Amino acid sequence: FQLELTATINKNSKPLPGEESYTSSRNILINFFSNTQEPTFVDCKTQEFKVEFYEEDVKQSYKLECQAKYQIDDQDLEIYYFLVSDNKTIRSIFKVDSSTGTVSLQKKLDFETEEKFEFQIVASNDSNPTSTNKMSYVKVTVNVLDINDHAPTFDHKQYFGALMNGYLKTFTIVELTATDMDKIDEGKLTYSIYGDINRKGDGIQDITDPFKIDEKSGKIFLNFNVEATMSGYFSFSVMVKDIPDSRGNGPFNSTAPVTVFILTTDNTVKFRFENTVDEVKMRQDEMCSAISNILKFDTHKQNIDKDKDSSGKELNVTFASLYFINSTDEMQMYSLKARPVEVVEAEYILSQVKNTDTYLRLSRNLQAQANLKLLPFPSSNTTPDDSDLLRAWLIGVSVALGALCIMLLIVFVIKTRRLSNKIKKLTSKQFGSQESGLNNLGLAAPNTNRNAVEGSNPVFRDDDNFKKDNIMDFANTEFDRASCFWYVT
C-alpha cells in the first residue's frame, strides 16, 4: 500500500509572499508480509553466554556476542528480545533491551548475598515473549565479581593473654584471628601492633618491645623472659588490614584491644576433664563460655595439657589451667579512664566450684555446651553419681536432728517443772508471818505461837512432852511443819 499524508496549518488561507507553504505532504509505502518464521540463535557457536558484573556498580551492561536471525533474512524483519525467568529477584535486578538483547542492571549486585544468577533470553518475531522453537532461547549466566567493600573484623572484641614466672622469649601468648567478608581478601590479611604498649605493675616498666607479632599468622610472641619479681599487666591495640582491589577499593582495617597479665598460681585454677588434650583444645571457646555462664566471670585459658601425678607420671586426664577476670565490660581494661579490671583470686573460684550445687551445674553446662566431662575438684568428694544419695542422706539427718531437738525440749520442760515443784516445797516460810500459819489465828499478835505454853519460854522447857531428839531423825519424816518452830521470849 502507498499512502500520502498531508499536513497544513491553515487550509483557508494562502502563505504571504516570502513565507513557506502552509502544507506539507509525504508518501508512505506499507508492505505486509506473512511472517511465520521465528528468529533463532542457530548461527551462534553456543547457546549459553557467560557475563561478569562487579558488585556495587549499577552502570554495567553486556551486549550479546551473537544476535538472533531469521532463516530467510531478505525481508528486513524486526527481532524482539525478552528476559525469561520465574525468579522475581532476577527480574527486578536485570533487564534486556528489546531491540538489541543487551543485558543491563536495574540494581546493584552484592557478592556476599548472591554470587551467580541464571536466566534465559528469548528472541521473538513479535511482542510476545515466547517461542515454540528451542533455538530461539539462550542461557545467560551472570557471575558477580567481588570487590573490596568490607573491612576485616577480629573474631573477638578483645583478647587476653597470660604470662607466668619462667616463661621465655618466643613463647606464644595470643593468636589473633580475623574475618573479611570479601572473598578476594582471603589469606591476604596482615596483623600488627598498633600504637604504644601500656604497662602497669612492678619490674616491667623498663622492658623495650615486650612483644613481637607475626603479621601473617597473627601470633603474638613474648620478647623477654618472665621473672618472679614481675607483676602487673600490659595493654595495647592490634590492627588487621586487607589489600586494595583492582578497582582501587581499600585497603580497610580494624583494631582490637589486647591485655596480657602476669599471673601466679594464686590466680589460676585447674579444671580436669576425662577428655583428651586435643578435644579440650578444640572446644576451649565453648568451655570458657560454659564456665563463664555459671561463675559470672570472664574465663580465659592459660594452658591445656596432660595432667600428672606427684611422681610426674602422665595421667589419662587433661587439665585446663584457667584464670578469671572480674569485669564483663569488654572495653574497660583498654580504656585509660576506666578502672582497671583485676584477675580473680584462685581461692575464691575454688570456694565456688567446690560447692555441690555449683559443681553440678558446671558439669551439666560443660557437657551440654562443649561435650566435656568435668572431674571433681581434689577436695570435693562429690560426684554426679552420688549427688542424689547425698541429698537424701542430708534430708534424713535433718529430720532426725529436728525430732531429737523436739524431744530434748519436751524433756527440758518436764524436768524444769519437777525441779520447780521440789524447790517450792523445800522453801521455808518466813517465821512470824501470817503466811507461815504458825501464829495464833485468833489473836494475830506478834511474838505468840500456838505451840508455846503461855508465859514461858519454849527453849527452857524440860517436861516429858519435850524431847531433845536429833534433828537428823526428822530429815525424811512427814510431820506438821509447825512442830519444828518454837516461840522464844
pLDDT tens readout for residues 64-81:
989 999 887 666 788 999
Phi and psi for 212 in degrees, rounded to 5? -125, 155
- The residue ranking higher by pLDDT, 154 or 448, is 154
Buried b (16+ CB within 10 A) or exposed e, 97-119: ebeebebebeeebebeeeeebeb
Output the average pLDDT for the chain.
83
| pLDDT surpassing 90 at residue 314 | no
pLDDT of residue 326: 81
Residue 259 backbone dihedrals phi, psi, to 5 degrees: -125, 130
Lowest mean pLDDT among 130-144, 197-211, 373-387: 373-387
Q: What is the DSSP string of 57-110?
A: ----EE--SS--B-SS-TT----EEEEE-S-HHHHHHEEE-TTT--EEESS---
Question: Can you name the residues that pair with 300 across neighbouring β-strands?
Answer: 323
Distance CA 249, CA 237 (A): 25
The answer to whether 291 and 119 are in contact (CB under 8 A) is no
Q: What is the pLDDT of residue 177?
A: 95
The pLDDT confidence band at residue 318, using thresholds 50, 70 and 90, is very high
Fold category of 48-145 in CATH: Immunoglobulin-like (2.60.40)
Q: What's the mean pLDDT in 189-209? A: 94
pLDDT grade, residue 311 (50/70/90)? Answer: confident
Q: Which amino acid is at 484?
A: C
Q: Which of 41-55, 61-75, 83-97, 218-232 has the lowest mean pLDDT?
A: 61-75
Measure the CA–CA gap between 294 and 371, rounded to whole angstroms: 16
Residue 37 pLDDT = 80
Q: Is the dihedral of CA 38, 43, 48, 54 positive or negative?
A: negative
C-alpha cell at 428: 521455808
48-145 and 153-370: identical CATH topology: yes
Dist CA 313 CA 378 (whole Å): 18
The architecture that CATH gives domain 153-370 is Sandwich (2.60)
Backbone angles phi, psi at 460, to 5 degrees: -100, 15
415 has pLDDT over 80: yes
pLDDT at position 337 = 41
Cell of 54: 562487579
pTM exceeds cut of 0.85: no
Of the ranges 353-357, 374-378, 443-447, which one carries the lowest mean pLDDT score? Answer: 443-447
Please spell the DSSP secondary structure of 12-57, one letter per residue: TS-PPTTPPPSEEEEEEE----------B-TTSS-SEEEEEEETT-
Strand-pair partners of 270 = 321
**Domain limits of the chain?**
48-145, 153-370, 428-489
Radius of gyration over every alpha carbon of the chain, rounded to an integer in angstroms: 53
Q: What's the whole-number mean pLDDT along residues 313-332?
A: 78
In terms of Cβ atoms closer than 10 Å to its own Cβ (0-12, 13-18, 19+), residue 136 is buried
DSSP β-ladder status, 116-124 and 23-29: unpaired
pLDDT at 217 over 90: yes
Give the confidence band of 214 by pLDDT, cuts at 50, 70, 90.
Answer: very high
Task: Determine the Cα–Cα distance for residues 104 and 122; give it in Å rounded to an integer.
Answer: 16
Backbone angles phi, psi at 28, to 5 degrees: -125, 130
Cα–Cα distance, 173 to 265 (Å, whole number): 17
Mean pLDDT of the region 178-182: 95
Percentage of the residues of the chain whose pLDDT score is greater than 70: 79
User: What does the buried/exposed string (b/e) look like for 353-372 if buried means 16 or more CB atoms within 10 Å of the residue's CB?
Assistant: bbeeeebeebbebbeebbeb
pLDDT tens for 83-96 read 999 999 999 999 99
